[in-house]
Structure 1
Amino acid sequence: MSGQAGSEPIRVLVVDDHTVVRQGMRAFLSLQTDMEVVGEAGDAQAALDFLAAASVHGLMPNVVLMDLVMPRLDGVSGIQAIKKHYPGVEVVAMTSFSETERVRAALAAGASGYLLKDAEADEVATAIRAATVGETHLDTAVARKITRALTGVSEGLSSLSQREREVLVLVADGYSNRDIADALTISERTARTHVSSILLKIGVTSRTQAALWAIRQGMTSAP
């Protein structure tokens, strides 16, 4: 329930087609001193309608916590639309499915995090806070499942593209997404996409864990 004195609360929009899930998430987030639920939506289209209205009235959420399987417009399409029209709004996907391809699809669409609905409450808060500072957070169970799919460090390394290795070295050196973008002459969003892909491929949940993993493999430019 941490918060920063004097700072604006993180504004969250909760999107799920189940009322009880939305109510439960609102109740939990209301206990976080640094968060405020500014609205709810029953599907991705309703979320886009909310954002359109919020953009006029100056009540834009910082983070959208979104289910992936909903009527009318699915979550992945919703994420793509949000990032296209409201690039400053972060999206954390929250679903019951842990299949790697679903995770990849959500992250490729622009999600800043991926959580399972049975995630611990503290992990939900961690993912939301990470999204607001430009970091990606994967559900612990998802990362564990991906890790089990790898046969070892060598496979994790070999699965990384040359560009992803370059990005991982910079992550290990403490570079932010903006710093990485500047160093490699790419967009900040592309840098984040590379970081998300790296987390999936090496089976860790956060940027910090990726940095530690890289350092253990000697993947750093520091002497």
Structure 2
Amino acid sequence: MSANKTDATLVIVDDHPIVIEGLQSLLQGEEGLHIVQSFTTGGAFLSFLKEQPHIDIVLLDITLPDLNGVEVCREIKIHAPDTKILIISNHNERSIIMQMLQQGASGYLLKNASGDELVHCIHEVLNGRIALSAEITAIMTRPVQNELKQIPHLTKREKQVLGMIAAGRTSASIADELCVSQFTVETHRRNLMQKFDASNTAALIKMAVEQRLL
């Protein structure tokens, strides 16, 4: 692809040469884009970027043989903060998507996305917008597991006990204050753990905070 002064410069970083060839083929005739170079390791790309920091957009895989995508993203933003990053990956875990966006990526799409979707996401990112493929958008808007769980119904006494547990009180001191037996307090504690499906006290408190019951 011959470069014009107005063309956006693009680099591809993926450890599979066949993927690089596929992306190059898809983008070869795309007006306004100039593929500068491609790399199969994060280290080689970062060395190149330090010498030529004026790259408009990087198509970046997360799984590379030497560095992971998080490290590469972080380094890009240090050495070339204006360079846009579009993640192209097979990883569809919500936590990984969030991590890459938090590290400075401007877009994320899966490798099963269509060519049209790829081109659209590239232009969205170049125009300063966050670009997510349709499948990634569906993953990110899906309620997380904790959100799917109903907020457990607690009795007034269970709420009292929960607050005291969160304050670090022992079952014995809770029993003394509430004028009940320690066995009764332990029963409340077990019921709370079951209602929140918590495996330990720390998990119980964390979930209660998330559900805004503390």
Shorter-chain TM-score range: 0.5 to 0.7
Residue 136 of structure 2: which of 133, 139, 142 is its match?
Answer: 142
Residue 27 of structure 2: which of 26, 29, 33 is its match?
Answer: 29
Q: Deviations over 1:130-184 (max 9, x none)?
A: 1112110112101112333369xx99xxxxxxxxxxxxxxxxxxxxxxxxxxxxx
List alignment gaps of at least 5 residues for structure 2. Answer: 149-214
What is residue 153 of structure 2 aligned with on the other side? none
Give the Cα–Cα distance (whole angstroms) in 2 for the partners of residues 119 and 85 of structure 1.
29
Q: Hey, which bits of structure 1, 4+ residues long, moved more than 6 A?
A: none
What is residue 48 of structure 2 aligned with on the other side? 50
Tell whether the 8 Å contact from 1:112 to 1:135 is kept in structure 2 after alignment: yes
Give the Cα–Cα distance (whole angstroms) in 2 for the partners of residues 101 and 17 of structure 1.
22
Larger radius of gyration: 2
**How far did 1:124 drift?**
1.0
Tell whether the 8 Å contact from 1:16 to 1:22 is kept in structure 2 after alignment: yes
* Partner AA of 2:8 in structure 1: I
What is residue 123 of structure 1 aligned with on the other side? 117
The SS at the match of 1:46 is helix
The higher relative CO (CA closer than 8 Å, separation ≥ 6) is in: 1
Tell whether the 8 Å contact from 1:43 to 1:74 is kept in structure 2 after alignment: no
What is residue 41 of structure 1 aligned with on the other side? 39
Residue 133 of structure 1: which of 122, 127, 130 is its match?
Answer: 127
Tell whether the 8 Å contact from 2:24 to 2:35 is kept in structure 1 after alignment: yes
Give the Cα–Cα distance (whole angstroms) in 1 for the partners of residues 69 and 141 of structure 2.
25
Identity across matched positions, percent: 28
List alignment gaps of at least 5 residues for structure 1. Answer: 1-5, 156-223
Cα RMSD (Å) of the superposition? 2.0
What is residue 66 of structure 2 aligned with on the other side? 72
Q: Superposed, which structure 2 residues align to 1:172-211 within 5 Å?
A: none
What is residue 56 of structure 2 aligned with on the other side? 62
**How far did 1:7 drift?**
6.5
Give the Cα–Cα distance (whole angstroms) in 2 for the partners of residues 61 and 39 of structure 1.
10
Give the Cα–Cα distance (whole angstroms) in 1 for the partners of residues 134 and 83 of structure 2.
24
**How far did 1:44 drift?**
1.6
Q: TM-score, normalised by structure 1?
A: 0.61
Tell whether the 8 Å contact from 2:106 to 2:131 is kept in structure 1 after alignment: yes
Give the Cα–Cα distance (whole angstroms) in 2 for the partners of residues 7 and 39 of structure 1.
17
The SS at the match of 2:19 is helix
